[in-house]
Amino acid sequence: MHSLESVPESVQRSIVFGILLYFTLIVYAEIANEPLAGFAADIVFAFVAITVGVLLFTRATDRLSPLSAGGLCLLVGGIAQLIAVFTGELLLHAVASMAVFVGIGLYILAVWLET
């Protein structure tokens, strides 16, 4: 897990910015009833999931570790979300949500096992 500490601060800030942008777009889309903001939020969600997934997967020292599996789940979830945004396929939205949920759970498990 120590390899995650070597992630450049600019990358960490970009991820935090992406997460904040996602939630801002979601809130705006709901309040203003603006479908374009919801569309943008879905795209931001996909790119954040892909970025964090690649980061976790490449930083994992063991390919069978929860950290590696979590990164892979986030990567798959982000790609599924991006495809779902452009195809409108509801099943892909569900797959993306589940993959991201599992990826976050595996990341939490990896952090918990490390401490």
pLDDT at residue 113, rounded to an integer: 84
> Cα separation of 13 and 19, whole Å?
10
pLDDT at 93 over 80: yes
Amino acid letter, residue 75: L
pLDDT at 4 over 80: no
pLDDT at residue 90, rounded to an integer: 92
Confidence of residue 15 (pLDDT cuts 50, 70, 90): confident
Contact present, 75 and 54 (Cβ < 8 Å) = yes
| Closest C-alpha among 58, 109, 70, 100 to residue 82 | 100
Confidence of residue 112 (pLDDT cuts 50, 70, 90): confident
Confidence of residue 27 (pLDDT cuts 50, 70, 90): very high
> Cα separation of 78 and 93, whole Å?
10
pTM: 0.86
Contact present, 65 and 114 (Cβ < 8 Å) = no
Confidence of residue 77 (pLDDT cuts 50, 70, 90): very high
> Cα separation of 10 and 76, whole Å?
24
